[in-house]
Amino acid sequence: MTDKQKNSMPFFKRSWLRLIGLFILLQIIFIILEISGWVANLNLRDINGKLFGRIAESSIFREWFTFYDTPHFNLFTVFFGITLLVPGIVGAIKDIFSRKFISK
């Protein structure tokens, strides 16, 4: 067995793939909740007047980040995009470039 085969990790065990997959799964859940109307049944607390509500109702989330009709989901999408998607993309780029240099 060569060194390259010993050090290769299976594709589905890569951490960046898990991060991107989790982000996509969360978006699918948000879409299902919004389409089906389960958002009203989640019993989300009233966010008006709280810090969370001020952020969700700010002009950035009302004008720029309007992925969903529910302000909670817009805020969660940006939060999960920063915490899951950005490190996932960075990890994928690192993995692609590290393989490019290893194969030489």
Number of domains making up the chain:
1
Mean pLDDT computed over every residue of the chain = 77
DSSP 8-42: PPPGGG-HHHHHHHHHHHHHHHHHHHHHHTTTGGG
Residue 6 falls within a domain, yes or no? no
Which residue range is the domain that position 62 belongs to?
A: 14-36+45-102
Cβ pair 20, 85 in contact under 8 A: yes
Other beta carbons within 10 angstroms of residue 94's beta carbon come to 11
pLDDT for res 65 = 79
- Work out the average pLDDT over 21-25: 93
Statement: residue 26 has pLDDT above 90: yes
Indicate if the alpha-carbon torsion angle 71, 39, 51, 20 is positive or negative. Answer: negative
Cβ pair 84, 77 in contact under 8 A: no
Statement: residue 41 has pLDDT above 90: no
Residue 82 falls within a domain, yes or no? yes
Residue 27 falls within a domain, yes or no? yes
